[in-house]
Structure 1
Amino acid sequence: MTKPIDPVDLTARLVRCASVTPAEGGALVLLERVLSDAGFTCTRVDRGGVCNLFARWGAKGAARSFGFNGHTDVVPVGDEAAWTHDPFGAEIVDGYLYGRGATDMKSGVAAFAAAAVDFVRDTPPDGAIILAITGDEEGPALDGTTALLDWMAAEGEAMRACIVGEPTCVETMGDMIKIGRRGSMTAHITVTGKQGHSAYPHRALNPLPAMARLMDRLASHTLDAGTDHFDPSTLAIVTIDTGNPATNVIPAQVRASVNIRFNDTHTGASLTAWLQSEIDAVQAEFGVTITQDTKVSGEAFLTPPGALSKLISDAVHAETGNTPEMSTTGGTSDARFVKDHCAVVECGLVGKRMHQVDERVPVADIATLKAIYTRILRAYFSQP
């Protein structure tokens, strides 16, 4: 009988791969070997210098196809001298596995890979299991999961439902899953006037009062009151800068940036239009020129509570005793791309130590996560 895959050992081996975005670091090579040995058909879907891995067990185009999505790239270590343990050593101390990416999200990848391998070996399902793993979630995310989904569409590969294995819990295993995410966008705004001597302000056109008025209008505006599944949208002013070291010069330009986290009341396009209307009003009032350069990182989305979220919630409760809150809080994840392909829910570890110095995860939680994923697969493929 084949020995089950130990998700803790697989996590440790992945952590030892120094896969800081965009370096592959050997992590996808390791996973491809593990999955290929278990009968998965593996394909590297590299694009734009980014390494990605697609793996499928079962028939292409199967009517029932369950997917997992995750990433093996990690954020930089930062000050390595501040770490108590080697950030790529995967040391286990007092029940914790230490290392960059231990929480976000090599444990999640190891858990769903181990669950998938053991499941198809023990109970070959009537259908397909797909793993879509990227090396570009922590970076620009232009050639990661999007590249995998583009390739899948071209090749006729499809997931009918998907779990993104990002950390989702707040304090204890099983206390939260994500059924959606807020949208995110950043607007870079430039106000241009006319430079002049501060002793003769009538000979200049100061852009600063216009910027101050605009920022006040934006920050004072209530975008919405929230929805059934989302908190109210927020706008944060993140920088205002003139680059002017002189106190006797009125600058010609001032720049500012705002970040908006928005719910499904809005779209990136509707908020861009609202920003432009505010810009137009201030521009007319002050006689300056104002431009915006806006980037939408992801639209708000929701997978309404239903069959998929119940299946996952039931599995989490069975393994942890917790009934998870169905949340849409937090930043963005690659679920924002997967949602255009199929129904998607995020379910993973406790995330409070991700990206920190001495990032670590309880080894017991890794085993629990594998058990949750295994129970989900059994439940999904046992349905009529």
Structure 2
Amino acid sequence: MTTPAEVIDLAQRLIRCPSRAGIDDYGPVLGVLEDWLTGRALPFRRLHDGRGDAVGLLIEVAGGRPGPWWALNACVDTAPYGDEAAWSFPPPCGEVVDGWLRGRGAADSKLAAAMFCGIAAELHGRADDLSGGLAVLLDADEHTGVFGGARAYLADAEAVRPAGVLIGYPGLDEVVVGGRGLWRATIAVHAASGHSGSRRAAAGAVSRAAHLVRLLEEAELPGAEGEFPLAPKLTVTSCHGGQGFSVVPDLCELGVDIRTTPGFDARAAGRLVRAAADELDVRVPAPRPTTIRPVASWPPYRLSDDRQPAAALLEAAATEGLAVRPKTAGPSNIGNLLAGEGIPATAGFGVRYAGLHGVDERACLEDLPAVHAVYRRAVLGLLGSS
């Protein structure tokens, strides 16, 4: 069995290899993992996107008996550092101080990636006793929001499609069993251009867009209903238009993010935005109608407590003496992508943490033995072993 010291050592090496999404080359951090896995004779391969870029690593441990496959998932790319001067230690330090592992990626999610590698190494040594198989997906394209590793895994003709996925986001008190979905769009608001000093100048595109923002933010959204505990939410996230001071702008683009629920899905979100745009065009006419371009959509999801793999993780946590509760997350996560593919997923249970995506990110190593034991117990149960 891989020891906690070995897991921590691998996590430190991963943190000391910067892998900021969209900034750093992912090759080196994947190389750290490949060296570790090669030293333990574990089968693995790189995953690539449509352009041929490496976006993840896939470990596959086939059991000796037939059965469904299950997957563990953790990302090995990270958020950017932000203002490095605000950190009290170097972001890629990987040090352990007072029981906390420090550095960008310690919490999200290089410690989980190292832990999952350890579980894969143990199971590889006893594969004949397992039913089905275990895949460990180490996504190197998660923080971009593209989830390139997960998409490449699902598109890989050689990979066995998993019956469920356990995602190693941190947090000791909760098992995330669901999340709101999302519907995102870019809205192009038009107007007639002209000189800002003209007596005949009509409302410009920025002014019309401001009116549309008010219409969107005043639109009524339903509350939480049924077994899904969260209500939908609409946010105008960007506004771009105009140049200088002397020209009435003829185009202004808005970004809109709507978090969806089973009672207010992507179609309802699109209808709400379309109705607001139509109302704008009636109230404040322009030469061209307002256009809406959807850019992303994921469904909401929620697993019942007795559905796998949520049941296995909740039961394992209780057996290990941890008081955890199922949670539906407000933000979307990779579980939404999997839900769209019909694959159930948990999306969070791990060690306590601080500074995630912020300053002085760190993970509590005191929690590691218990968290490791929970995932180990859950996976062995799913694979028909103990």
Residue 258 (structure 1) aligned to one of 253, 256, 259: 256
Native 8 Å contact 1:311 1:379 kept in 2 = yes
Residue 287 (structure 1) aligned to one of 273, 285, 288: 285
Residue 186 (structure 1) aligned to one of 184, 199, 218: 184
Letter in 2 for 1:333: N
Alignment of 1:161-310 (within 5 A): 161-167=164-170, 169=171, 173=172, 175-197=173-195, 200-208=198-206, 210-227=208-225, 228-246=227-245, 250-288=248-286, 289=288, 290-308=290-308, 309-310=310-311
- Match of residue 18 from structure 1: 18
For 1:96-122, what per-residue CA distance to the aligned partner results, in whole angstroms no more than 9, with x for missing partners?
111110000001111222123224436
Letter in 2 for 1:256: L
| Aligned-pair identity (%) | 23
* 2:381 counterpart of 1:376: no
- Match of residue 44 from structure 2: 42
Letter in 2 for 1:18: P
Once the two structures are TM-superposed, the CA of residue 137 in structure 1 deviates from its matched residue by 0.1
- Worse-matched range after superposition: 190-199 or 291-300: 190-199
Once the two structures are TM-superposed, the CA of residue 70 in structure 1 deviates from its matched residue by 1.7
SS of residue paired to 1:277: helix
Write the distance in 1 (CA, Å) between the matches of 2:317 and 2:31: 30
Once the two structures are TM-superposed, the CA of residue 273 in structure 1 deviates from its matched residue by 3.2
* 2:143 counterpart of 1:144: no
In the alignment, structure 2 segments of 5+ residues that lack a partner are none
SS of residue paired to 1:374: helix
- Match of residue 87 from structure 2: 83
Write the distance in 1 (CA, Å) between the matches of 2:83 and 2:196: 44
Native 8 Å contact 1:85 1:91 kept in 2 = no
Residue 158 (structure 2) aligned to one of 151, 155, 158: 155
Alignment of 1:322-337 (within 5 A): 322=323, 324-337=324-337
- Worse-matched range after superposition: 98-107 or 182-191: 182-191
- Worse-matched range after superposition: 371-380 or 123-132: 123-132
Change (3 A) 1:282 1:61: farther
Aligned residue pairs total 374
Once the two structures are TM-superposed, the CA of residue 25 in structure 1 deviates from its matched residue by 4.7
Write the distance in 2 (CA, Å) between the matches of 1:15 and 1:131: 19
* TM-score, reference length from structure 2: 0.87
In the alignment, structure 1 segments of 5+ residues that lack a partner are none
Alignment of 1:87-98 (within 5 A): 87-98=91-102
Native 8 Å contact 2:137 2:149 kept in 1 = no
Letter in 1 for 2:378: I
Write the distance in 1 (CA, Å) between the matches of 2:65 and 2:338: 17
SS of residue paired to 2:211: helix
Native 8 Å contact 2:193 2:247 kept in 1 = yes
Letter in 1 for 2:141: D
SS of residue paired to 2:358: coil
SS of residue paired to 1:128: strand
Once the two structures are TM-superposed, the CA of residue 354 in structure 1 deviates from its matched residue by 0.9
- Worse-matched range after superposition: 154-163 or 67-76: 154-163
